Amino acid sequence: MGKKSRKVKEEARLRRKMTKLWNRGQSEYCEVRGSDIHGHGVYAAKDIPAEKQVIEYIGELVDKNESETRAWAQHAKAEATGDAAVYIFTLSKRWDIDGNVPWNTARLINHSCEPNCEAWVDEKKIFIHSLREIKKGEELSFDYGFDIECYEEHPCRCGSKKCVGYIVSQDQWEELEKRKAKDRKGAA
Ligand SMILES: C[S@@+](CC[C@H](N)C(=O)[O-])C[C@H]1O[C@@H](n2cnc3c(N)ncnc32)[C@H](O)[C@@H]1O
Ligand SMILES: [Zn+2]
Protein backbone atom coordinates (compact mmCIF):
# COMPACT_ATOMS: atom_id res chain seq x y z
CA MET A 1 0.00 0.00 0.00
CA GLY A 2 1.33 3.43 -0.93
CA LYS A 3 2.03 6.15 1.65
CA LYS A 4 -0.90 8.22 0.33
CA SER A 5 -3.51 5.45 0.52
CA ARG A 6 -2.32 4.52 4.04
CA LYS A 7 -2.91 8.15 5.04
CA VAL A 8 -6.40 8.17 3.45
CA LYS A 9 -7.28 4.92 5.26
CA GLU A 10 -6.01 6.28 8.60
CA GLU A 11 -8.00 9.49 8.15
CA ALA A 12 -11.17 7.49 7.40
CA ARG A 13 -10.58 5.35 10.53
CA LEU A 14 -10.18 8.47 12.67
CA ARG A 15 -13.32 10.03 11.16
CA ARG A 16 -15.32 6.87 11.97
CA LYS A 17 -13.94 6.91 15.54
CA MET A 18 -14.87 10.59 15.99
CA THR A 19 -18.39 10.03 14.61
CA LYS A 20 -18.88 7.11 17.01
CA LEU A 21 -17.68 9.19 19.96
CA TRP A 22 -19.80 12.15 18.91
CA ASN A 23 -22.93 9.98 18.65
CA ARG A 24 -22.24 8.41 22.06
CA GLY A 25 -22.32 11.89 23.62
CA GLN A 26 -25.73 12.79 22.11
CA SER A 27 -29.22 11.79 23.21
CA GLU A 28 -32.66 12.10 21.69
CA TYR A 29 -33.72 13.55 25.07
CA CYS A 30 -31.22 16.41 25.14
CA GLU A 31 -30.68 19.77 23.52
CA VAL A 32 -28.27 22.55 24.46
CA ARG A 33 -29.32 26.16 25.03
CA GLY A 34 -28.31 29.21 27.04
CA SER A 35 -29.23 28.79 30.70
CA ASP A 36 -30.48 31.19 33.40
CA ILE A 37 -28.44 29.18 35.88
CA HIS A 38 -25.08 29.52 34.11
CA GLY A 39 -23.67 29.67 30.59
CA HIS A 40 -25.10 26.83 28.56
CA GLY A 41 -27.40 24.17 29.93
CA VAL A 42 -29.00 20.94 28.71
CA TYR A 43 -32.76 20.87 28.21
CA ALA A 44 -35.29 18.09 27.66
CA ALA A 45 -35.87 17.90 23.89
CA LYS A 46 -38.99 15.80 24.63
CA ASP A 47 -40.81 14.41 27.67
CA ILE A 48 -38.55 12.09 29.65
CA PRO A 49 -40.10 9.30 31.75
CA ALA A 50 -38.98 8.85 35.38
CA GLU A 51 -35.95 6.64 36.03
CA LYS A 52 -34.82 6.70 32.44
CA GLN A 53 -31.20 6.67 31.27
CA VAL A 54 -31.00 10.12 29.68
CA ILE A 55 -27.44 10.49 28.42
CA GLU A 56 -23.93 9.19 29.04
CA TYR A 57 -21.31 11.49 30.57
CA ILE A 58 -18.35 10.64 28.39
CA GLY A 59 -14.74 11.71 28.53
CA GLU A 60 -11.25 10.54 29.05
CA LEU A 61 -10.46 7.96 31.71
CA VAL A 62 -7.65 9.38 33.87
CA ASP A 63 -5.98 8.22 37.07
CA LYS A 64 -6.08 10.36 40.22
CA ASN A 65 -2.65 11.96 39.64
CA GLU A 66 -3.52 13.06 36.13
CA SER A 67 -6.98 14.10 37.27
CA GLU A 68 -5.58 16.36 40.00
CA THR A 69 -3.20 18.05 37.55
CA ARG A 70 -6.05 18.65 35.10
CA ALA A 71 -8.44 19.85 37.82
CA TRP A 72 -5.94 22.50 38.94
CA ALA A 73 -5.36 23.60 35.33
CA GLN A 74 -9.12 23.80 34.63
CA HIS A 75 -9.65 25.69 37.90
CA ALA A 76 -6.87 28.20 37.08
CA LYS A 77 -8.31 28.74 33.59
CA ALA A 78 -11.78 29.27 35.06
CA GLU A 79 -10.45 31.84 37.54
CA ALA A 80 -8.68 33.72 34.74
CA THR A 81 -11.55 33.65 32.23
CA GLY A 82 -14.63 33.48 34.49
CA ASP A 83 -15.78 30.47 32.45
CA ALA A 84 -17.14 27.22 33.82
CA ALA A 85 -14.76 25.34 36.04
CA VAL A 86 -13.92 21.71 36.43
CA TYR A 87 -15.31 18.86 34.34
CA ILE A 88 -13.63 16.08 36.29
CA PHE A 89 -16.05 13.43 37.51
CA THR A 90 -15.12 10.98 40.29
CA LEU A 91 -15.45 7.37 39.22
CA SER A 92 -13.65 5.37 41.90
CA LYS A 93 -10.72 5.59 44.33
CA ARG A 94 -8.37 5.13 41.38
CA TRP A 95 -10.07 6.59 38.37
CA ASP A 96 -11.85 9.76 37.24
CA ILE A 97 -13.40 10.87 33.97
CA ASP A 98 -12.35 14.18 32.44
CA GLY A 99 -15.46 15.21 30.55
CA ASN A 100 -13.97 18.37 29.06
CA VAL A 101 -14.43 17.26 25.45
CA PRO A 102 -16.84 18.90 22.97
CA TRP A 103 -18.69 15.66 22.18
CA ASN A 104 -19.68 15.25 25.84
CA THR A 105 -23.04 17.06 25.81
CA ALA A 106 -23.68 16.05 29.44
CA ARG A 107 -20.76 18.25 30.56
CA LEU A 108 -23.14 21.20 30.12
CA ILE A 109 -25.69 19.96 32.65
CA ASN A 110 -25.85 22.46 35.50
CA HIS A 111 -26.17 21.77 39.22
CA SER A 112 -29.43 22.27 41.11
CA CYS A 113 -30.38 22.04 44.79
CA GLU A 114 -33.61 20.42 43.52
CA PRO A 115 -32.29 18.25 40.69
CA ASN A 116 -34.42 16.29 38.24
CA CYS A 117 -31.58 13.89 37.38
CA GLU A 118 -28.78 12.03 39.10
CA ALA A 119 -25.47 10.60 37.97
CA TRP A 120 -24.99 6.82 38.15
CA VAL A 121 -21.59 5.22 38.02
CA ASP A 122 -21.58 1.85 36.24
CA GLU A 123 -18.06 0.41 36.41
CA LYS A 124 -16.00 2.83 34.29
CA LYS A 125 -18.98 4.66 32.80
CA ILE A 126 -21.24 7.45 34.03
CA PHE A 127 -24.88 7.80 33.06
CA ILE A 128 -27.35 10.58 33.80
CA HIS A 129 -30.73 9.21 34.92
CA SER A 130 -34.02 11.04 35.42
CA LEU A 131 -35.27 11.14 39.02
CA ARG A 132 -38.82 11.96 37.98
CA GLU A 133 -40.83 12.63 34.85
CA ILE A 134 -39.32 15.64 33.08
CA LYS A 135 -41.37 17.76 30.70
CA LYS A 136 -40.07 18.88 27.30
CA GLY A 137 -38.26 22.22 27.72
CA GLU A 138 -37.22 21.74 31.37
CA GLU A 139 -33.55 22.26 32.12
CA LEU A 140 -31.79 19.09 33.25
CA SER A 141 -29.77 19.22 36.46
CA PHE A 142 -28.10 17.00 38.99
CA ASP A 143 -26.44 17.36 42.37
CA TYR A 144 -22.74 17.95 41.63
CA GLY A 145 -21.97 16.50 45.06
CA PHE A 146 -19.32 19.14 45.78
CA ASP A 147 -17.63 18.94 49.17
CA ILE A 148 -18.45 21.63 51.75
CA GLU A 149 -14.77 22.65 51.86
CA CYS A 150 -14.40 26.13 50.25
CA TYR A 151 -18.21 26.27 49.81
CA GLU A 152 -18.07 30.07 49.41
CA GLU A 153 -16.19 29.64 46.12
CA HIS A 154 -19.24 27.96 44.59
CA PRO A 155 -22.34 30.14 44.92
CA CYS A 156 -25.43 28.42 43.53
CA ARG A 157 -27.81 30.16 41.15
CA CYS A 158 -30.14 27.23 40.51
CA GLY A 159 -33.19 29.38 41.33
CA SER A 160 -34.98 26.58 43.17
CA LYS A 161 -37.06 27.40 46.28
CA LYS A 162 -34.90 24.82 48.05
CA CYS A 163 -31.64 26.48 47.01
CA VAL A 164 -29.12 26.55 49.87
CA GLY A 165 -27.07 29.28 48.18
CA TYR A 166 -24.02 27.17 47.43
CA ILE A 167 -23.14 24.19 45.25
CA VAL A 168 -22.73 21.66 48.04
CA SER A 169 -23.70 17.97 48.13
CA GLN A 170 -27.15 17.43 49.67
CA ASP A 171 -25.49 15.02 52.11
CA GLN A 172 -23.71 18.00 53.67
CA TRP A 173 -26.56 20.50 53.86
CA GLU A 174 -26.98 20.16 57.64
CA GLU A 175 -23.28 20.84 58.12
CA LEU A 176 -23.50 23.73 55.63
CA GLU A 177 -26.20 25.49 57.67
CA LYS A 178 -24.01 25.22 60.80
CA ARG A 179 -20.97 26.45 58.86
CA LYS A 180 -22.88 29.41 57.37
CA ALA A 181 -24.18 30.44 60.83
CA LYS A 182 -20.68 30.18 62.32
CA ASP A 183 -19.14 32.17 59.46
CA ARG A 184 -21.85 34.87 59.76
CA LYS A 185 -21.11 35.17 63.52
CA GLY A 186 -17.38 35.43 62.80
CA ALA A 187 -17.98 38.20 60.27
CA ALA A 188 -20.26 40.24 62.62
C1 LIG B 1 -19.61 21.45 34.11
S2 LIG B 1 -19.99 23.12 33.90
C3 LIG B 1 -21.71 23.16 33.50
C4 LIG B 1 -21.97 23.83 32.19
C5 LIG B 1 -21.82 25.33 32.19
N6 LIG B 1 -23.10 25.96 32.40
C7 LIG B 1 -21.21 25.83 30.87
O8 LIG B 1 -21.81 26.65 30.18
O9 LIG B 1 -20.10 25.39 30.55
C10 LIG B 1 -19.91 23.48 35.61
C11 LIG B 1 -19.83 24.93 35.90
O12 LIG B 1 -21.08 25.57 35.61
C13 LIG B 1 -21.39 26.53 36.60
N14 LIG B 1 -22.63 26.10 37.29
C15 LIG B 1 -23.26 24.90 37.19
N16 LIG B 1 -24.33 24.85 37.97
C17 LIG B 1 -24.40 26.04 38.61
C18 LIG B 1 -25.29 26.60 39.58
N19 LIG B 1 -26.32 25.93 40.06
N20 LIG B 1 -25.05 27.86 40.01
C21 LIG B 1 -23.99 28.57 39.54
N22 LIG B 1 -23.10 28.11 38.63
C23 LIG B 1 -23.30 26.86 38.17
C24 LIG B 1 -20.21 26.60 37.55
O25 LIG B 1 -19.33 27.58 37.05
C26 LIG B 1 -19.60 25.22 37.38
O27 LIG B 1 -18.23 25.22 37.67
ZN1 LIG C 1 -29.15 26.01 44.41
**Domain limits of the chain?**
3-58+101-144, 145-188
Q: Check residues 82 and 135 and name the one with the higher pLDDT.
A: 135
* C-alpha distances out from residue 1 to 4, 98, 172, Å: 8, 37, 61
Task: Express each pLDDT in 127-153 by its tens digit.
Answer: 999 999 999 999 999 999 999 998 998
> Looking at the domain 3-58+101-144, which fold is it?
Beta-clip-like (2.170.270)
For residue 12, CA distances in Å to 65, 93, 103, 151, 183 come to 34, 37, 18, 47, 58
User: Could you report the per-residue pLDDT of 86-126, keeping only the tens digit for each?
Assistant: 788 889 899 999 998 999 999 999 999 999 999 999 888 99
Phi-psi region of 88 (alpha: psi -120 to 50; beta: other; left: phi over 0): beta
CA dist 74 and 96 (Å) reads 15
Identify the sign of the CA torsion 16, 17, 20, 26. negative
What percent of the chain lies above the pLDDT cut of 70?
Answer: 97
Q: How far is the CA of 20 from the centre of ligand 2 (A)?
A: 35
Which of 32, 37, 38, 40 most suits a substitution to test ligand 1, by most atoms within 8 Å of the C-beta? 38
Residues within 6 Å of ligand 1 by CB: 35, 37-41, 84-85, 87, 107-108, 110-112, 156-158, 167
Sign (positive or negative) of CA dihedral 36, 139, 143, 20: negative
What is the Cβ-side half-sphere exposure of residue 181, based on CA atoms within 13 angstroms? 6
115 alpha carbon to ligand 2 midpoint, in Å? 9
- Yes or no: say if 64 and 26 are a contact pair by the CB < 8 Å rule: no
What's the pTM? 0.91
